[in-house]
Each structure stands twice: as C-alpha cells, then as structure tokens.
Structure 1
C-alpha cells in the first residue's frame, strides 16, 4: 500500500473542489431520502473506485449519483436505464459542475431542488456562484482514495464485533469524514438548538472516523468523539494507546494522525488500539447500561463450514 500522507495544505484547492462536488450529491440525497436517526440517511458508501450516494428514492423508480475517483467522472443513473455522465477534470468549477449535475438529474427524470449553500464549510458561496474552486489534481485524489480505503479497513475491524446499533464507516458530506458509531441505546437529549446537533445528538454514542484535515487542522487524522461530551477525560490519558494518540480538550476528541498511524509496524492495529482504548476510557467515566451485552464476543467459527 502506498503510504502517501496528504497534508490539507498540499491539496486544499482540489480537496475543497471535491468536497463541494460531493456536497451537492449529498444534498440531493437529503431531499429525497426517508429520514433516519442521527442523519443516517445522508451517509454515502465508499466503494473500490470512489464514493456514491447509494440508492435514492425517485419519481416512481430509484437513482444514484456515483463519483468514480479512479476514472474521474460522475455517473447519474436510474433503475429504468437512464444515465448521464459528467467528466471531472482540472478547471471544472463548482458552478459548472452544479449546472451539469442539475441537468443530468433532469435528463434522467429526477430533477431535485437543493439548498445551494455549502454545509459545514468555511466558504458559504452558493454552488451556482462558485467559480473559485475548480482544481483537480488526479494524483492527490488517488492518494485520498487509498487513505479512505485504509481508514475503512481499520475502522471496520474495530466496529464490526459490537452488538446492538452500530453504523459502519461511510462518508459524511458535511465534514468530509468517513466515520461510524457505536450506540449505547440510552437517550441523551441535546441541549443546543442547531438543526444538525438536535438531529444528531439524541443518544449516547461514540463516533470513530477519519477526516483529511481542514482549514483549522491540516493533518489528516483518525478521531474518536464521545457524546455526551465528558469533562475530565484528559485525566485518563495514560490509558490511551498507542503512545502517539492524544485527547484534545479543545476538540473533545481522541486523535491519532494518519502520519502517526503509519509510523507503527502495523498501522491498522494502531488505529484499532486508539479506538479500543478510547472506548474503554469512555466506559470508565460513564459506563453504558448494556455494555456487557454490547461488547460480548461473537461466536462465529474461525473458518465457517457449509
């Protein structure tokens, strides 16, 4: 595996362009999909070649928007055979892509009106007016995809054995992270009033994910975010593994940078260790009611026999 680490500052122009392209597809999915708890309906699955919306309910049929990040195009297609392809290349602006995406949706009979203000992004220029973001570095996109696959393997190893409600790693278009969560099944009402928070934070959980960095923190990193936010976690820092992982109080998150993960002999295990030890810290401070069942080992045989 190529261990290329992309600092956000190295590919910001391309990262932002990709982020905004994906946001448009995510917003189409938001408008069309049946609502699920914790914004589960907006998650976008990772595939071998890229990121897609998955199946979206349409007008009498279904459709999807798929970003092939190896061949550098976007396919918009429905279950009736309608298909439109948008090539992605350096110079394609956010405004131009928005116009092409809306045209493609109309072509397959799935015209969808979306809120064109970017979500959870530092620049609020509406998609149809954004001619500033138009970069496409193919090598950087390829490296990002490889990092997403590494993150998916690592996070899945940790998340898969949990019983109960678990979201496996998928893409969130708002913050451009690939993440999954373990839920306690215990209500934990949110004290804020913002739409995202009210519909995200409603029960105890810990989210684990990977994001490529942003304008506030340029290093790509794995994170663990417990909710409710627990004061005093830093006092358990000695339990956190591996040794380069840390709890950042200002973010209320456990952090292991991608660079640090790759510095260990077994990078995937380093990520699993960060997730597992941080989960143990959370349980030390606020033990979940059904923890014994949630963490009870699975009993599948090592080599299933038919």
Structure 2
C-alpha cells in the first residue's frame, strides 16, 4: 500500500451529510451506554467517570463495577456489535437499524444477562427538546461503512491527542469521548480556580456544568458534525475566555475563530487533505493552547515539558 493510500485509510472522508442520521443514532446509543457507566461509578472531577474511551475495536466504558461485578460494555465498530464482557463471559447483540427505545431494551437485557443492573436516567443530555429514550420509537438507520470510517478517524485523532497530552506536567485529562456532546476531548488545566460557570447547557443540570468548569482550562477536541456545524471539526477553547483570544495567530492556515461558539475551529477535511495531517493537527493543538495559556498568564515554564517519546525518560534538568 502506498503512503497516500495509508494516509487515506487512517484519515478517511467523513462527510457529515452522508451519515448524519446514523451519527445521530450512534450519539444517542452512546448516551445510553455512557449513562450505564455513570450510574455505577463514583464521581471523578469534571465528570471524567462518565466518559467512553477509543479502543482498537471501537468505544468502550472500561471496567464498570456493578455491585462489585466488573462489566465492560464496548461498541465494537468493526464487527458492529455491542459487547458485554465479564471475567467469565462475553455476550453481545448486533448494531443495526433500530429505534433508540429498542437499543435501550437490548442494552438492558444484555447488562442483566451479564449479571448487572441497568438503572439510568431515561432522557438524553445536552440535546435540546430531546425525546426520552423509551419514547423514541422511530427506526434509525445504521450505515456500517460510515461507522467504520468514523472509528478509523477516531483512532488517528486519539493518537495525536495522546501525543499532545505528553507535553504537560500539570493536570491533564484523559483522551475521552463525552457522550453528551459526542466529542472526543483532551483538556489541560492551569491549576487555578475559575469563575463560576453560568450553566444553561440544554438538558444538563447547572451543578454538573459548574463542577466541570470549576478550574481554568484550555480544551481541544473533535466532533463529527451536527448542532449547527454540519461537518466534522476540531475545536479549541479556553474557560474563562481571555481578552484577545480570537485575535491570536494560530496554526494551520485553515483555522478560523467562531465568535458564536467562542472557539477556534479547524475542519477535519483540511487535516485529512494535508500531506502532514498529524503535524497539522498537533500544530493546532499547540498553538491554540499557547494562545490561551499566554493570555491567561499560565505558569507555562512549570506546567510544560517536551513531548514524550517511547523509551526516552523525560529530562528533568
């Protein structure tokens, strides 16, 4: 396989319009699975206990202790199944066209057959005027090929996010998928408290939002489209937003600042089409972080380090 074909496989096309209905279904399905993890996991700062993780097979909860019994739920986006694993069993059901209500019932049956308990809040979060899961009876399409492309993109993106994560000595989040907004994110913290967030996120309690933004952050991520931005997009923002943030020069050239969102945006397609997609994405992460950190007077000398490399200890001199 040539280098260009390798790059195309790693950074596949993701035109949102071609799979928007499947993406919307997958978003709601991840909410159901994510809520299962959330309902059985002690609170971790900034709701990190609720997220999903990118894996070679798809998206996973990691081990969930359900009354002491470890259960892992995984969206296998290669074989297109939702899989429940325990220390002594593996069960699954196919991912295919179905309603949200049917997915909820199948997931509950799967969890219970694995010895767990499905006890979740029954409505979507961060979606305005959303239909409760049990009432959402509309059949949803499932485009398996589009889902596989989405997963391949997530694998490539998470690799760059993980590399970016290594260049920080301060508090930094895992690379994880927030199922409320359906975005893959990584967040750096200055270590200082932030002003109280005003809340107001649709279908999300204000105290959850305020806890998530309790401290100053520079956050970057990726979402596949939707919510008024109908193409896959990388984003970067700071909370609180420092004066002059939108005017700071950042990389690469395809970046724009979206005033309504208060975020820098970089189209996924611009990265995909680049001869150096990983380098372009890393430049976006580094330059937008630097804009936030400089304007907010972060102690960059104490917080930052060289990007990590395999088998090379971090220099401390």
Same-fold status (TM-score > 0.5): yes
Aligned to 2:4: none
**Are the aligned partners of 1:222 and 1:256 in contact in 2 as well (CA < 8 Å)?**
yes
SS in structure 1 of the partner of residue 150 of structure 2: helix
C-alpha distance in 1 between matches for 2:312 and 2:45: 35
Aligned to 1:56: 64
C-alpha distance in 1 between matches for 2:42 and 2:113: 23
SS in structure 1 of the partner of residue 43 of structure 2: coil
Confirm whether residue 39 of structure 1 aligns to residue 57 of structure 2.
no
Confirm whether residue 89 of structure 1 aligns to residue 96 of structure 2.
yes
Confirm whether residue 214 of structure 1 aligns to residue 214 of structure 2.
no
Aligned partner of 1:66 among 53, 74, 78: 74
Aligned partner of 1:26 among 24, 34, 44: 34
**Are the aligned partners of 1:44 and 1:53 in contact in 2 as well (CA < 8 Å)?**
yes
Confirm whether residue 277 of structure 1 aligns to residue 284 of structure 2.
no
Deviation per residue, 1:271-298 (Å, 9 max, x gap): 111111111111231111x321111336
Gaps of 5+ in 2: 1-6, 200-205
Q: CA deviation at 1:22?
A: 0.9
Q: Name the Cα RMSD after superposition.
A: 1.9
C-alpha distance in 2 between matches for 1:168 and 1:18: 22
Q: CA deviation at 1:300?
A: 6.9
Deviation per residue, 1:175-208 (Å, 9 max, x gap): 1111111111111132425133112100011111
**Are the aligned partners of 2:66 and 2:117 in contact in 1 as well (CA < 8 Å)?**
no
**Are the aligned partners of 1:28 and 1:113 in contact in 2 as well (CA < 8 Å)?**
yes
SS in structure 1 of the partner of residue 237 of structure 2: strand
Deviation per residue, 1:102-150 (Å, 9 max, x gap): 1122222211211111111245111112122421101100111111112
Q: CA deviation at 1:262?
A: 2.0
Gaps of 5+ in 1: none
**Are the aligned partners of 1:190 and 1:197 in contact in 2 as well (CA < 8 Å)?**
no
C-alpha distance in 1 between matches for 2:76 and 2:294: 43
In the TM superposition, structure 1's runs of 4+ consecutive aligned residues that sit over 6 Å from their partners are 298-302
TM-score of the aligned structures, taking structure 2 as reference length: 0.89
Aligned to 2:300: 291
**Are the aligned partners of 1:76 and 1:83 in contact in 2 as well (CA < 8 Å)?**
yes
Instruction: Decide whether aligned partners of structure 1 residues 123 and 60 sit closer, same or farther in structure 2, where only a CA change above 3 A counts.
Output: same
**Are the aligned partners of 1:213 and 1:221 in contact in 2 as well (CA < 8 Å)?**
yes
Provide the aligned length of Structure 1 versus Structure 2: 299
SS in structure 2 of the partner of residue 168 of structure 1: coil
SS in structure 1 of the partner of residue 186 of structure 2: strand
C-alpha distance in 1 between matches for 2:274 and 2:128: 33
Instruction: Decide whether aligned partners of structure 1 residues 272 and 300 sit closer, same or farther in structure 2, where only a CA change above 3 A counts.
Output: closer
Aligned to 1:205: 217
Aligned partner of 1:261 among 268, 271, 281: 271
TM-score of the aligned structures, taking structure 1 as reference length: 0.92
C-alpha distance in 2 between matches for 1:299 and 1:152: 15
Instruction: Decide whether aligned partners of structure 1 residues 298 and 49 sit closer, same or farther in structure 2, where only a CA change above 3 A counts.
Output: closer
Aligned partner of 1:120 among 126, 129, 142: 126
- After superposition, residues 100-249 of structure 1 pair within 5 angstroms as 100-122=106-128, 124-193=130-199, 194-236=206-248, 239-249=249-259
